[in-house]
Structure 1
Amino acid sequence: MAHAENAGAIPPKVDFIVSPGLPKWLQQHSTSFGFTSYQTGQLFLVGLMPDGGISLNQQNYSQAMGLCWDQGRLYLASKFQIWRLENMLRPGQIGNDRFDAVFVPRNAHTTGDLDVHELAVDAAGQVIFANTSFSCLATVDPVHSFRALWRPAFVSELAPGDRCHLNGLAMHDGAPAYVTVVARSDEPGKWREHRANGGMLIDIRTGNILADGFSMPHSPRVVGDKVVLLDSGRGYIVEVDIANGSRRNIAFVPGFMRGLEIHDGFAIVTLSKPRYGTFAGLDLDAELQRRGLAPWCGVVIIDLPTGQMVEWFRLEGDITELFDVAAMPSIVAPMSLGPNSNELMDTITFLP
């Protein structure tokens, strides 16, 4: 069991255990990855040490949720801001004798507390995010907290209150294409009464419901002519046919899933232990009991064609809940600096 490294304020204690093949998998697929925990308010970056072991770097970002990798930079949604993190290293430079990327928070757009879930960047470089509090898709605005782009037809007004729990965003050809909602509801908080089977996948370009009957769906991702999403209340990764809305189960995962990244034909998924009431009344609870499994917190890597779990990264200690995950191709060992870390004050780079 190894301990996480933090540069900044002392975080909650986090221990991790990894599958024996994870270092080789990261090397073979030329990637590292990052994930967030809103429970502890942290960004974690996972890569390889020079000796081939696993490196885990963590930094504090209040209520860290949505995470996106785009053209060599990271975007992260926190409690009331959306951050842009830039790699400050030039080609060939190494940070702290072992990191080939050092991500520094260079910009923060203040949104206020919108309960921002997933976010992405479109072809024009515009940040798009699931504005869960206002039940819409939105983008940043230089003057205002956000600019609304789209909301479901059954949501009657643009107002706070989280009416349908719009939480997941899928991009296609550089533009938003699909969202997941937990229920068709137009009353604040009413979606909670329909967690078991009220979830929907909506094509925002047409407004059509592509598929429904999901239990707390999250994280839709376009893969060819299918959409892969997390049917979290059931515990299954699911594939939906775009042409007709038919679906099939890909794999069962022993925890509550909230984040999904597709990389080289594999699904990288975050999963969490239950907090009070999270699993109550959901099929996931019964399925775990039927299989004799205990839910756990961590990241799993699933081979999409076979549905087999090939590698895993398991967290123990004070952390029990994760949110989003992002693959970071061609980065071997990433680290970051937090917005309130001491190191950030003394870390100055410039162009002559």
Structure 2
Amino acid sequence: MTAPHDTPAPSPGGPPPTEVRFHHSIGLPGLLDEAQCALLVSTYQAGQVVAVGAADERLTFSFRRFDHAMGLALGADGLAVAGKGQVWMLRDHSELAPAMSPAGRHDRCWLPRSSVVTGGIQCHEIAWGTTPAGEPDLWIVNTRFSCLAGLDERFSFVPRWRPPFISALAPQDRCHLNGLAMRDGSPAFVTVMALSDEPGGWRKRRNDSGAVLDVASGSPVTTGLAMPHSPRWYDGQLFVLNSGMGRLERVDLATGGREVVAALPGYARGLAIHGGLAFVGLSKIRETAIFGGAPIAAYHDQLKCGVGVIELSTGTTVGTLEFASGVEEIFDVQVVPGALSPTFGETDGDADDIWVLPHQREPHREEVGR
């Protein structure tokens, strides 16, 4: 059974709010409450990051516009969002959350504070790691230059690693490097759509040319995937989304074989795992140069856009969130452990009319609102 809802998606500084209609399984609010987590979802096409939580046995939603929102990286002090030509940094101001409308509902809050301009590098997934000194360290998947990179205020980006078969650093999207799995604070695995060194070469054959690469060696650990995304290391195991097939799979590192954990009704992209549950982003697909011909396109009239919740031990779908209008593509999904109802700081529908001043002893609405 599902519960239907309509809600406007605020667009600060942009066009009028878009009506977003969604349905969810009846048990999803209780599932999030039991798992003691909320979700962050980026919607590339709609240009929104959505915080999904639960309060009073209902889902709560908070929207914030970022042009071409893609990868999300949640850190101890804030949130990084990969957008068009820049990476945004949002500061955690959860001390202000209870003052946000409606008062008393929210327990986490992120507000934009800065951005780093990268130019058009087609930044896909991003992830926080740690430096040898234990400092936070943001890694970005630079798809256009086929490399992993870091950020520096003096440069567009700092190249850090590229697959050994990529012969030159060039803005040619040779292999469509798109996903990153971290392990012990460092990059461990990446996904590519093809082992190609030609400009745009990955486009020639996408339905069985995808691979997961080991960052340390540069070698493939599994091949033959259809447009893979979102590798994740969890509980000593490697998971990946075989996106073109609409499947969540577990990789056997010893043999390179893969086990299907669950088949999903959408182009699978965006994966977060928490408490034995996999939260998988699902997208409808368009007939374009990128999506056209994907195996799952044969079921285009049955595909959903939203998030599926999979119990890893059984492969059972235990919860669903479906966007019926306003959103058609999900890029990333992240879990916010310990949060129940996060917000991006709307006060009466306007997230830009919020100011945070130094030396506030106690936050009051008149200090953070209009």
Q: Which has the higher mean CA deviation after the structures are superposed, 263-272 or 11-20?
A: 11-20
Distance 2:351 2:238 in 1: 41
1:4 to 3, 7, 10: 7
Identity %: 37
Aligned to 2:113: 106
Distance 1:137 1:3 in 2: 39
Counterparts of residues 16-55 of structure 1 (less than 5 Å) = 16-49=22-55, 51-55=56-60
Task: Give ranges in structure 1 of 5+ residues lacking alignment.
Answer: none
Per-residue CA deviations over 1:268-319 (Å, capped at 9, x if unaligned) read: 0111111123553332234x38xxx700100110011111110011001132
Kept in 2: contact 1:81–1:110 (CA 8 A): yes
Counterparts of residues 116-195 of structure 1 (less than 5 Å) = 116-123=123-130, 124-195=135-206
1:323 to 319, 331, 351: 331
Q: Which has the higher mean CA deviation after the structures are superposed, 328-337 or 28-37?
A: 328-337
The question of 1:282 aligning with 2:294 is answered yes
Q: Which has the higher mean CA deviation after the structures are superposed, 276-285 or 19-28?
A: 276-285
- After superposing on structure 2, the runs of 4+ consecutive aligned residues of structure 1 that deviate more than 6 Å are none
Kept in 1: contact 2:9–2:19 (CA 8 A): no
Task: Give ranges in structure 2 of 5+ residues lacking alignment.
Answer: 361-370
Name the TM-score, length of structure 2 as normaliser. Answer: 0.89
The question of 1:301 aligning with 2:304 is answered no
Q: Give the secondary structure class of the aligned counterpart of 1:233.
A: helix
Kept in 2: contact 1:5–1:56 (CA 8 A): no
Distance 1:308 1:3 in 2: 28
TM superposition shift of 1:347 = 2.2
TM superposition shift of 1:348 = 2.2
* Counterpart residue type for residue 295 of structure 2: D
Kept in 1: contact 2:174–2:200 (CA 8 A): yes
Distance 1:330 1:94 in 2: 19
Distance 1:284 1:6 in 2: 29
Q: 1:92 to 1:3 in 2, by over 3 A?
A: closer
Number of residues paired by the alignment?
A: 345
Per-residue CA deviations over 1:222-260 (Å, capped at 9, x if unaligned) read: 123321000011111110022332211111001111100
Distance 2:337 2:8 in 1: 22
Counterparts of residues 82-97 of structure 1 (less than 5 Å) = 82-90=87-95, 93-96=98-101, 97=103
Q: Give the secondary structure class of the aligned counterpart of 1:27.
A: helix
Kept in 1: contact 2:244–2:294 (CA 8 A): yes
Please provide the CA RMSD for this pair. 1.8
Distance 2:345 2:44 in 1: 17
Q: Give the secondary structure class of the aligned counterpart of 1:122.
A: strand
